[in-house]
C-alpha cells in the first residue's frame, strides 16, 4: 500500500514520546502494563488523530509503531500490540466492506474464502468507510477488557494441569506463575521448588510470596536444578516472549532448566498470554541482538582485583528451542508449540510483521 513501506523518520506525538521516556526510566514495568498502555495510545490515535480512510490510519499507526519498536526494541509486547491493532483495522474495514456490499452478511462464505485472493478490492484500504472509527473504538475497548482478564483466564486453567500432591518447579519471578500456583493451591495441596535465578535472585521474591500464601515452598540455587529434577512432576515457567517458531525468550537459566527437564522426561509448561506471541524469528544464534546484558557487580565487584583482568557477562535472557517445551497455556486455552504459528496468524497480518 502506498505510504506504508516508507522508511522516512517519523515524529512521534507527545503522548508516545512521554511513554517511551517513562519506560526507559522504569516508571512503567511489566509486560501487561506495557501492552495496556500501548493499546490505550493506539486507541487515542484512532479516536483523536485526523484520518479519512483505513489506509491513512494504517500509515499513521505503522509510523508511530515503528518509532516505538525502534525506541523500545527489547519490549516485544509494544510492537506486538501495534501489530494487533493494525490487524483489527484491516478486519473491521473488510467486515464493513462485506456488510456494505453483501446485504449485511459479514461472514465470508467458503467460496469467497477460496477465491478471495482474486478480489481486486481486498487489499485496497483507500476508500472511506462510514462507521469505521466507531467500530474500531468498540473493538479496541473489547481488547482492553481482554487484557484486564488475561491473568484470570490463565490461572483458571490451573486445576486442569496441576494435580494433588505434585511437586512443581519454576524459575525466577513471574506474576502469571505466582497467580497460577496460588489458584491451584486453593483446591489441592502442592509443593513448589523455586530456582532463585542468580545473580538477580528474583526467585527469592516468588518463594517469599508463595510462603505467605501457605504453599510449601523450597528455594534452591541454579546449580541444584539437575540434582533435584528427578523428583519433579512438572516445570511451570513464564516467558518474556514467544517467537514465531514456538521458541522462548525467557529469563536466563531457563535453557538449562528445560534441558534438565528433557533429560528426566519432565513436562515443561509455559504460561504465555497472547500479547507475548510475536511473529519474530531468532536470526542470530549468538544472541547479540536478542539479549540484554545486565550488571555483573553481584558476581564480580568492580573494585576487586580480578575485575581488572576479567571480562564478565550477565545476559538477562535465554533462547529455549520449541522442542524443549511441552505445552503453552494462553488466555485462550492450551496449545502445543507446533500450533503457535496458527495463533500468530490469527493475531497479526503478514504485512505487519515488519513495522
pLDDT at 286 over 60: no
Assigned domain for 227 exists: yes
- 198 and 150 co-located in one domain: no
For residue 203, name the pLDDT band (cuts at 50, 70, 90): very high
The whole-number pLDDT of residue 54 equals: 87
Q: Tens of pLDDT along 97-151?
A: 765 555 444 455 555 555 555 555 566 777 877 888 888 999 999 999 999 999 9
More confident residue, 118 or 157: 157
**CA-CA distance, 14 to 254, in Å (whole number)?**
38
254 contacts 186 by C-beta, under 8 angstroms:
no
Q: Which of 270, 211, 279, 207 shows the shortest CA–CA distance to 245? A: 279
Instruction: Find the DSSP H helices in the chain.
Output: 14-24, 31-48, 54-71, 76-101, 110-115, 132-148, 150-155, 158-161, 175-185, 203-212, 225-228, 254-263, 340-347
pLDDT at 254 over 60: yes
Contacts of 110 (CB under 8 A, 6+ apart): none
The whole-number pLDDT of residue 259 equals: 96
The whole-number pLDDT of residue 112 equals: 57
Assigned domain for 49 exists: yes
- 246 and 201 co-located in one domain: yes
Assigned domain for 32 exists: yes
- 217 and 330 co-located in one domain: yes
pLDDT at 353 over 60: yes
Provide Rg for the chain, Cα atoms. Answer: 23
The whole-number pLDDT of residue 352 equals: 87
Q: Averaged over 14-38, what is the pLDDT?
A: 91
Backbone angles phi, psi at 142, to 5 degrees: -65, -40
For residue 3, name the pLDDT band (cuts at 50, 70, 90): very low
154 contacts 331 by C-beta, under 8 angstroms:
yes
Please identify which residue in the block is written with the cell numbers 496460588. 182
286 contacts 319 by C-beta, under 8 angstroms:
no
CA pseudo-torsion sign 279, 20, 1, 90: positive
Assigned domain for 116 exists: no
Helices vs. strands in the chain: H and E counts, helices first: 13, 10
**CA-CA distance, 272 to 321, in Å (whole number)?**
15
CATH number at residue 29: 1.20.120.420
For residue 262, name the pLDDT band (cuts at 50, 70, 90): very high
**CA-CA distance, 33 to 23, in Å (whole number)?**
10
- 147 and 238 co-located in one domain: no
Q: From its phi and psi, is residue 80 left (phi > 0), alpha (psi between -120 and 50) or beta?
A: alpha
- 149 and 225 co-located in one domain: no
pLDDT at 288 over 80: no
Q: Looking at 104-108, 143-147, 228-232, 344-348, which range is the least confident one? A: 104-108
Total domain count for the chain? Answer: 2
Task: Give the H/E segment covering residue 270.
Answer: strand 268-271
The burial class, CB within 10 Å (0-12 / 13-18 / 19+), for 349 is: middle
Backbone angles phi, psi at 304, to 5 degrees: -75, 155
- 345 and 261 co-located in one domain: yes
The whole-number pLDDT of residue 314 equals: 84
Q: Averaged over 221-228, what is the pLDDT?
A: 93
- 236 and 338 co-located in one domain: yes
Range of the domain at 40: 9-99+131-155
- 147 and 237 co-located in one domain: no
Strand 327-330 and strand 268-271: the pairing is parallel
Amino acid at each position: 500500500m502506498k505510504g506504508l513501506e516508507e522508511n522516512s523518520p517519523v515524529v512521534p506525538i507527545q503522548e508516545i514520546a512521554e511513554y517511551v521516556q517513562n519506560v526507559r526510566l522504569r516508571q512503567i514495568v511489566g509486560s501487561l502494563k506495557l501492552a495496556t498502555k500501548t493499546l490505550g495510545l493506539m486507541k487515542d490515535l484512532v479516536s483523536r488523530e485526523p484520518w479519512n480512510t483505513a489506509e491513512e490510519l494504517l500509515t499513521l499507526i505503522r509510523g508511530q509503531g515503528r518509532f516505538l519498536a525502534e525506541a523500545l526494541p527489547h519490549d516485544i509486547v509494544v510492537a506486538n500490540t501495534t501489530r494487533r491493532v493494525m490487524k483489527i483495522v484491516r478486519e473491521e474495514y473488510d467486515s464493513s466492506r462485506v456488510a456494505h456490499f453483501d446485504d449485511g452478511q459479514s461472514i465470508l462464505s467458503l467460496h469467497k474464502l477460496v477465491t478471495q485472493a482474486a478480489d481486486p478490492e481486498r487489499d485496497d484500504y483507500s476508500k472511506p468507510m462510514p462507521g469505521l472509527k466507531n467500530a474500531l473504538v468498540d473493538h479496541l475497548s473489547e481488547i482492553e477488557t481482554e487484557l484486564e482478564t488475561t491473568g484470570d483466564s490463565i490461572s483458571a486453567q490451573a486445576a486442569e494441569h496441576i494435580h494433588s500432591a505434585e511437586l512443581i518447579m519454576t524459575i525466577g519471578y513471574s506474576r502469571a506463575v505466582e497467580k497460577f500456583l496460588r489458584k491451584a493451591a486453593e483446591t489441592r495441596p502442592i509443593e513448589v521448588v523455586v530456582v532463585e535465578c542468580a545473580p538477580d535472585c528474583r526467585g527469592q521474591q516468588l518463594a517469599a510470596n508463595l510462603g505467605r500464601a501457605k504453599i510449601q515452598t523450597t528455594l534452591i540455587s541454579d546449580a541444584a536444578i539437575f540434582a533435584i529434577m528427578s523428583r519433579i512432576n512438572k516445570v511451570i515457567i513464564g516467558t518474556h516472549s514467544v517467537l514465531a517458531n514456538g521458541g522462548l525468550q525467557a529469563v536466563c537459566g531457563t535453557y538449562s532448566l528445560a534441558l534438565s527437564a528433557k533429560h528426566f522426561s519432565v513436562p515443561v509448561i509455559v504460561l504465555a498470554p497472547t500479547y507475548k506471541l510475536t511473529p519474530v524469528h531468532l536470526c542470530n544464534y549468538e544472541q547479540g541482538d536478542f539479549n540484554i546484558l545486565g550488571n555483573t557487580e553481584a558476581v564480580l565487584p568492580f573494585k576487586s582485583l580480578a575485575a581488572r583482568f576479567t571480562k564478565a557477562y550477565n545476559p538477562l535472557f535465554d533462547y529455549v528451542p520449541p522442542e524443549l517445551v511441552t505445552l503453552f497455556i494462553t488466555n485462550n486455552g492450551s496449545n502445543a508449540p507446533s500450533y503457535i504459528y496458527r495463533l500468530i496468524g490469527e493475531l497479526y497480518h503478514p504485512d505487519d510483521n515488519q513495522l
